[in-house]
Structure 1
Amino acid sequence: MSEQRVIIEMGMGNDLHGMDYTKAAGRAIDDALRHSSLPLFGVLDLPHADMRVQVTIGVQDPDRLDLDALRARLPRGRAEVRAVFGGLNVPANGETIVIAQASVEAFVPPQTGWRLKR
């Protein structure tokens, strides 16, 4: 049996001045994390190291992301971060506002003795 996804959260972040894609992406990750809670780790005595965290970041120029820096922002689990084309670049008063979107998913190995409701 494959891993079980226990959460998926979305987040949005931006950089208003400086066109820093990594800063906008980091804020998008933080936004998604602020919307989530995983109490099952405490309830089931699961170690956080058993969790795989998969992050997908969408920005207009994915090659400008520092994936190692974004991976380091994740507080728990084995983190994977990938960049895809998405987000928005918004011209404003001679600058470009960078908007990033993030999807943060958490997976755990199959568990016995309990199951998620369908």
Structure 2
Amino acid sequence: MDSEKSVETDVHPQIQAQSMKILFVEMGVGYDQHGQDITAAAMRACRDAISSNSIPAFRTGAVPGVNTDQMKLKIKLGVPRSTQGSLDTERVKSIFPYGDIIDVEVVDGGLVCSSGVCLEAMGDKNDDCYIVNAAVYVGY
């Protein structure tokens, strides 16, 4: 019981305030090397976070009374400040197959770097590559 209490107190206060019991946190990184689309990079980061996980607890009754209808998600994205204005969070949310998304938080993070090449045929305006970090909190 003591270990349960310490886990709850270690959870970031903003997440606790959402009255969400967190089961786990998935993390991912997404890139957009051509086209300079920060939303594409954010969607890839979220897909990366959830793509190698299975959540049988929500389907098998491992947590009594909890199924995918009660699943809650909180998404935190580290996005370069210069690109945040063009981020489409509704498109990012669309990649999650189920769960009630209670919050999408965008913070300064990620990276803008050179991809080393500008390919107009791929929609490039310059050689910028966008990198986004994602943390997906899953609970109920």
Deviation at residue 82 of structure 1 after TM alignment: 2.1
In the aligned structure 2, how far is the partner of 1:67 from the partner of 1:42? Answer: 27
Structure with the higher fraction of residues in helix conformation: 2
Deviation at residue 74 of structure 1 after TM alignment: 1.0
Residue-pair matches, total: 108
Aligned equivalent of 2:9: none
- TM-score under structure 1 normalisation? 0.83
Structure with the higher fraction of residues in strand conformation: 1
Deviation at residue 73 of structure 1 after TM alignment: 1.4
Gaps spanning 5+ residues in structure 1: where? 109-118
Deviation at residue 63 of structure 1 after TM alignment: 2.1
Query: Which of 45, 57, 62 is equivalent to 2:77?
Result: 57
Alignment of 1:23-38 (within 5 A): 23-38=40-55
RMSD: 1.7
Gaps spanning 5+ residues in structure 2: where? 1-18, 118-125
In the aligned structure 1, how far is the partner of 2:106 from the partner of 2:71? Answer: 21
- TM-score under structure 2 normalisation? 0.71
Residue 70 of structure 1 contacts residue 81 of structure 1 at CA under 8 Å; is this kept in 2?
Answer: no
Deviation at residue 107 of structure 1 after TM alignment: 1.5
Q: Secondary structure at the match of 1:30?
A: helix
Measured against aligned partners, the alpha-carbon deviations of 1:11-60 in whole angstroms (never above 9, x if no partner) come to 00100011100000000000001132211112216331211101111111
